[in-house]
Amino acid sequence: SAVISQKPSRDICQRGTSLTIQCQVDSQVTMMFWYRQQPGQSLTLIATANQGSEATYESGFVIDKFPISRPNLTFSTLTVSNMSPEDSSIYLCSVEGGQTYEQYFGPGTRLTVT
């Protein structure tokens, strides 16, 4: 399985500001995903980020709020823009392992907006 790291691991931010979360993988992967997990809740897919194409966003998530970059096959960023307390969540990136559909998750970034 891939080894995935995220930075920062946690942050406390003021409302109205933006935070960029980085996701680094130790091997080249085609498909990367960003999920949100609100406190004590399940995971919700934000978007799919494939290298060389625009990210595909799920219903309820828009590019202006959650811009994503995917500059190469081992790295992606998710920005949470103009934050409000409702954005307080754990943000997780995941990667898909080749042809097996297996998805592996990073450790997550715990964001608190005050």
Partner 1 sequence: QQQVKQSPQSLIVQKGGISIINCAYENTAFDYFPWYQQFPGKGPALLIAIRPDVSEKKEGRFTISFNKSAKQFSLHIMDSQPGDSATYFCAARGGGADGLTFGKGTHLIIQP
Write out the residues near partner 1 by the rule CB under 8 A: 1, 4, 31, 33, 35, 41-45, 48, 58, 92, 94, 96, 101-108
Question: Could you please report the per-residue DSSP string of 17-85?
Answer: --EEEEEEESS--SEEEEEEE-TTS-EEEEEEEETTS--EEPTT--TTTS-EEEEETTEEEEEE-S--G
The residue among 9 and 17 lying less far from partner 1, judged by its C-beta, is 9
Q: Which is nearer to partner 1, 16 or 26 (CB)?
A: 26
Query: Is the CB of 14 or the CB of 60 nearer to partner 1?
Result: 60
* Cβ 85 to partner 1 shortest distance, Å: 21
